[in-house]
Amino acid sequence: MVTVRAAVADDSRMLWRWRNDETARENSISTDEVPFDAHEAWYEGSLRSPSRRIYVGLDDDLDSIGMVRFDREHDHSVVSINLAPQARGRRLALPVLRAGIDRYRDDVGGALALVALIRDSNAPSLRLFTAAGFAPRDLVDGVWTYSRTD
């Protein structure tokens, strides 16, 4: 069973490594490698931000297998996911995403509209968000907006 926990300061380096993994960069909206100092400043601010939540997915052995991030905007939250390189190909993305959504909704006190921004070349994420109940809304400059309201 996959669970999630709130990210903590000690997760910074691990999440930075996952973010800079070649496959993650190829599929991200921003494909640039992120220097650790820039990541650390962003991460510290993220943990303090009332509009951002980051969760770390855990497998049955409590190994960290991915992260789910939510950025609250006016009437919705933008969700993104990144699996640890060693967790890819094990059918863990959907359980991590679902656990993250459930935890986020518990933490913020109810349902919010969710939006995901996905590169049109990122077929695994397009399938993932469809399986999680998101629907394509529009495609602009090679980036799909998928949404889910429930």
* pLDDT over 80 at 135, yes or no: yes
How much is the pLDDT for 74? Answer: 86
Cβ atoms of 70 and 104 closer than 8 Å: yes
> Residue 26's domain is classified under what CATH number?
3.40.630.30
Cβ atoms of 116 and 130 closer than 8 Å: no
Structure tokens at 3: 């669970």
Q: How far is Cα 39 from Cα 23, in angstroms, rounded to an integer?
A: 18
Domain extent, residue 25, equals: 3-148
Cβ atoms of 130 and 92 closer than 8 Å: no
- In the chain, the number of structural domains is 1
**pLDDT range class, residue 75, cuts 50, 70, 90:** confident
pLDDT in tens, 93-119: 999 999 999 999 999 987 789 999 999
How much is the pLDDT for 41? Answer: 97
Cβ atoms of 91 and 124 closer than 8 Å: no
